[in-house]
């Protein structure tokens, strides 16, 4: 089992490395800096989460919640991720309940529909400890893989990816592998079992586990806005949302918010104790979901990097210019984000403020020593700078301004962990996540 898990992780890492463009000097025609002496002085222009747009300081928790927090959320909406629609669809779902994990778990499969004709939906696979005496806290995992890859069990409903060429939804039950290609998500193939040991460890500690494939909600390629959930809200005749409206990261995060709506209806789940996790672009997604949706109780963000928890004003690894270059990932953000490619110091937000929006809720930033493209140090500094809001709200920040050694977790409400290795999740990260959940969820 461990070997299979390891191999699957390796396949995932290999795929990530391919798209992560690690350590190349020029990406999409734009130079990449990996020289610490050339990162610039991010502190000189970093916006302060505790100074309002009118220049007044934020001194109390009340001012933070009433004034400054909503102000920063709006700035991120307008300038980085894009607003999601004000109106939620009515909650519509089907549930299939049986047993899983060799009889130790209640297995629920919830299909959540986002529109009346049921053409837009997400399949959420949930495992809950069978012997629970009440509603349980759980970990919601945003996955690049179909649900059947998580547990490898029989009878798992298919997840979807998209064919970017034919622009069609591809639901795959049989025949494993990474169907659909990265651009559309890693297919919904069967096989796997890559999360089995993690699921079992969570269940043993009294936590539930839920997972969904992100591309059920919205595709992961340019031009996808007419296909996934965003298509439901486009103005007549439009093919793209407005420049301050949702990119696909915001759409995936909106999916999380809708899934929490369902959790609130499920008596077996404690919807006030939902942790969320995702890696890479899904690390960015859980950062934004945690910032935007206050019902998220904990965020475990893996290698979210640029456009996530790494300070954009620090020129190291990927930059806003790389992210928003037309052949790369502009569609994942509000179109307005591209305006800051030339001069990131004009951006009214930065990652320290994203960290601050998650306060006072527990947040763990997980990075990797060789994941230079995602700038692990830039994430650490964002936590150092964002920590002042944790302190204002009476919670512990990192407690240090020095990067911890690799494989040495900081278990504070605002936590940090850098594994020895590259981009994405490694088995050790799941152990750290579980420990963090035991302490703070
Ligand atoms: C690319 C992108 C990153 C992103 C990553 C991923 O490498 O440049 O910003 O995090 O893909 O999602 O795998």
pLDDT (tens digit per residue) in 2-18? 333 333 443 344 344 43
CA of 153 to the centre of ligand 1 (A): 29
Q: Which of 303, 329, 422, 423 to mutate to test the pocket of ligand 1 (most atoms within 8 A of CB)?
A: 329
CA of 20 to the centre of ligand 1 (A): 5
Give residues (CB < 6 A) around ligand 1: 16, 19-21, 280-281, 305-307, 318, 323
Q: pLDDT at position 24, please?
A: 83
Q: pLDDT at position 393, please?
A: 98
Q: Which of 12, 222, 281 to mutate to test the pocket of ligand 1 (most atoms within 8 A of CB)?
A: 281
Q: State the pLDDT confidence band at 22, using cuts at 50, 70 and 90.
A: low
H/E segment holding residue 416: strand 414-419
Residue 245 predicted with pLDDT over 90: yes
Q: 374 catalytic, yes or no?
A: no
- Where b means 16+ CB within 10 Å and e means fewer, 181-209 reads bebbbbbbbbbbbbbbebbbebbeeebbb
Q: Going by CA atoms, what residue is nearest to atom 12 of ligand 1? A: 281
The single residue of 143, 161, 280, 304 carrying the catalytic annotation is 280
Ligand 1 atom nearest to 20, measured from its CA: 7
How many angstroms separate the CA atoms of 1 and 9, rounded? 12
Mean pLDDT within 74-95 = 97
Q: Going by CA atoms, what residue is nearest to atom 2 of ligand 1? A: 20
CA of 19 to the centre of ligand 1 (A): 6
Residue 177: partners with Cβ closer than 8 Å, 6 or more residues away: 187, 189, 191
Mean pLDDT within 76-80 = 98
Q: pLDDT at position 106, please?
A: 98
Mean pLDDT within 383-400 = 98
pLDDT tens, residue by residue, 422-440: 999 999 999 999 999 999 9
Ligand 1 atom nearest to 423, measured from its CA: 13
Q: Going by CA atoms, what residue is nearest to atom 7 of ligand 1? A: 20
Domains (range + CATH), the chain:
2-440 (3.40.50.1820)
Q: pLDDT at position 235, please?
A: 97
Q: Going by CA atoms, what residue is nearest to atom 1 of ligand 1? A: 20
Q: How far is CA 76 from CA 154, 350, 380, in A?
A: 42, 9, 20
282 in Cβ contact with 252 (< 8 Å): yes
234 in Cβ contact with 241 (< 8 Å): yes
Token pair 């399949």: residue: 123
Q: Going by CA atoms, what residue is nearest to atom 10 of ligand 1? A: 280
Ligand 1 atom nearest to 27, measured from its CA: 8
SS3 category, 42: helix
CA of 270 to the centre of ligand 1 (A): 32
DSSP conformation letters of 198-221: HHHHHHHTT-EEEEEEGGGTS-SS
Q: State the pLDDT confidence band at 173, using cuts at 50, 70 and 90.
A: low
Strand residues in 188-327 grouped as ranges (E): 208-213, 269-279, 298-302
Mean pLDDT within 72-77 = 98
How many angstroms separate the CA atoms of 49 and 349, rounded? 9
Per-residue DSSP letter, 338: G
Residue 21 predicted with pLDDT over 80: no
Q: Which of 124, 123, 128 is nearest to 99 (CA)?
A: 128
Residue 19 predicted with pLDDT over 90: no
Ligand 1 atom nearest to 21, measured from its CA: 7
Residue 292 predicted with pLDDT over 90: yes
DSSP conformation letters of 342-401: S-GGG-S--HHHHHHHHTTS-EEEEEETT-GGG-HHHHHHHHHHHHHHHHHTT----S-S
Give the torsion sign (CA, 67, 73, 79, 82).
Answer: negative
CA of 140 to the centre of ligand 1 (A): 21
Angle between helix 427-440 and helix 2-20 axes, rounded to 10 deg: 100
Ligand 1 atom nearest to 303, measured from its CA: 10
Residue 250 predicted with pLDDT over 60: yes
Q: What pTM did the predictor assign?
A: 0.94
Residue 191 predicted with pLDDT over 70: no
Q: Going by CA atoms, what residue is nearest to atom 8 of ligand 1? A: 20
pLDDT tens, residue by residue, 306-318: 999 999 999 999 9
CA of 6 to the centre of ligand 1 (A): 21
Q: Which of 34, 47, 37 is nearest to 76 (CA)?
A: 47
* Tokens coding 403: 């990067």
pLDDT tens, residue by residue, 332-345: 999 999 999 999 99
Q: 280 catalytic, yes or no?
A: yes
% pLDDT > 90, the chain: 89
CA of 196 to the centre of ligand 1 (A): 25
* Calculated CA dihedral for residues 407, 410, 413, 416, nearest 10 degrees: -50
How many angstroms separate the CA atoms of 51 and 296, rounded? 25
């Amino acid at each position: 089992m461990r070997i299979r898990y390891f191999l699957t992780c390796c396949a995932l890492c290999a795929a990530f490395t391919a798209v992560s463009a690690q350590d190349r000097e020029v990406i999409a025609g734009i130079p990449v800096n990996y020289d610490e002496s050339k990162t610039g002085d991010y502190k000189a222009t970093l916006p302060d989460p505790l100074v309002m747009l009118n220049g007044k300081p934020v001194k109390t928790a009340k001012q933070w919640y009433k004034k400054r927090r909503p102000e920063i959320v709006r700035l991120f909406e307008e300038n980085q991720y894009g607003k999601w629609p004000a109106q939620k669809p009515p909650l519509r779902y089907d549930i299939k309940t049986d047993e899983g994990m060799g009889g130790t778990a209640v297995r629920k499969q919830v299909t959540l529909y986002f529109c009346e004709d049921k053409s837009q939906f997400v399949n959420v696979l949930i495992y809950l400890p069978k012997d629970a005496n009440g509603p349980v806290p759980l970990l919601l995992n945003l996955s690049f893989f179909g649900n059947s890859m998580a547990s490898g069990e029989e009878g798992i409903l298919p997840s979807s990816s998209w064919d970017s060429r034919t622009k069609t939804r591809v639901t795959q039950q049989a025949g494993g592998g990474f169907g659909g290609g990265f651009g559309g998500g890693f297919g919904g193939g069967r096989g796997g079992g890559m999360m089995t040991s993690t699921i079992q460890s969570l269940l043993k500690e009294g936590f539930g586990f839920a997972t969904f494939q992100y591309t059920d909600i919205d595709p992961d390629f340019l031009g996808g806005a007419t296909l996934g959930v965003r298509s439901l809200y486009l103005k007549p005749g439009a093919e793209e949302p407005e420049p301050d409206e949702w990119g696909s990261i915001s759409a995936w995060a909106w999916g999380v918010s809708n899934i929490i709506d369902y959790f609130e209806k499920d008596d077996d789940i404690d919807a006030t104790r939902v942790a969320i996790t995702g890696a890479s672009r899904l690390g960015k997604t859980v950062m934004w979901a945690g910032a935007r949706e206050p019902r998220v109780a904990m965020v475990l963000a893996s290698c979210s990097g640029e456009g996530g928890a790494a300070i954009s004003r620090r020129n190291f690894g990927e930059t806003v210019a790389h992210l928003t270059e037309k052949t790369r990932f502009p569609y994942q953000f509000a179109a307005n984000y591209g305006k800051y490619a030339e001069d990131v110091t004009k951006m009214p937000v930065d990652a320290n403020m994203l960290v601050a929006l998650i306060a006072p809720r527990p947040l763990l930033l997980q990075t990797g020593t060789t994941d230079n493209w995602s700038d692990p140090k830039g994430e650490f500094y964002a936590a150092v700078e964002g920590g002042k809001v944790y302190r204002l709200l009476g919670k512990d920040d990192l407690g240090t301004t020095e990067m911890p050694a690799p494989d040495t977790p900081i278990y504070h409400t605002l936590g940090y962990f850098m594994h020895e290795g590259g981009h994405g999740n490694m088995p050790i990260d799941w152990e750290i996540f579980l420990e963090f959940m035991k302490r703070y969820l």
